[in-house]
Amino acid sequence: MRFSDETLLDITKRFRAELTRGLGGDSNATASLKMLPTFVRSIPDGTEKGDFIALDLGGSAFRILRVKVSHENRQTVEMESETYDTPDEIMHGSGTRLFDHVAECLGNFMEKHKIKDKKLPVGFTFSFPCRQKKLDEGYLIKWTKRFKASGVEGADVVQLLNKAIEKRGDYEADIMAVVNDTVGTMMTCGFDDQRCEVGIIIGTGTNACYMEELRHIDLVEGDEGRMCVNTEWGAFGDDGSLEDLRTQFDIEIDRGSLNPGKQL
């Protein structure tokens, strides 16, 4: 159970090699860390202001926040939030039902906060591995954690949510961005401290993102400037690279999980 310093340095070396493999155009397909480009090109510079809604789907609870950022006298951030349960039958049911649930919670939130008549910009924190080609579109690669809703893998989650909102027809929402929770965390901290260039989540799952030089990211065209990369580091070892270190307990816990062999 206790690793020597030597073993830890060895794991670090393997981990670094996987990060590099994930960034490479030829090696990404077989890399366990997918190093997903997020299309977030910079951290906040503190001049941002406005009235926003943030959705956070990915843990055991679904959260909705209204965030007001203003600069009168001094910078202030006001937040109001509500938490909604996501029952197992919704997590494991159909994708349509899941996004209907999200749209219903958002409707309830807007009703409660008396903003149903406004079309506010929405940021959608969706804490699962997504392939992105732009900021407001994210194709779910695969469910992780306790989620297993059908018909969502391979689909654009922004489109699914828009469809659920349109079907209701009692409010409008403008989904500007879909981001991973690691990215949301980095951006929030970056708002207060511009030196923050890493976001880490340790919760239902674990993951990290960081700002990378664009020239190192083969999956995106161009080499000027930087982009935030979602490492999806929870998958480290999924390719068998940690088999010599896993104990009988690791194997047993994995066997009993919803996605055996994944997120080792």
Say whether 85 is catalytic: no
Which one from 56, 100, 145, 238 is the annotated catalytic residue? 145
> Tokens in use for 72?
């009168």
SS3 assignment, position 79: strand
The CB density around residue 50, as the number of other CB atoms within 10 Å, is 10
Which one from 56, 100, 156, 181 is the annotated catalytic residue? 181
Strand segments, DSSP code E, in 97-184 are: 121-126, 130-134, 137-140, 174-179
CA 91 from centroid of its chain's CA atoms: 17
Say whether 145 is catalytic: yes
Is the distance from CB of 167 to CB of 175 less than 8 angstroms?
no
Q: What is the CA radius of gyration of the chain?
A: 19
* Local structure of residue 150 (DSSP, 8 states): B
Whole-angstrom Cα distance, residue 89 to residue 97?
9
Is the distance from CB of 22 to CB of 33 less than 8 angstroms?
yes
Residue type, 150: S
* Helix/strand/coil percent split, the chain, to 5: 30, 25, 40
Q: Residues with catalytic annotation?
A: 145, 181
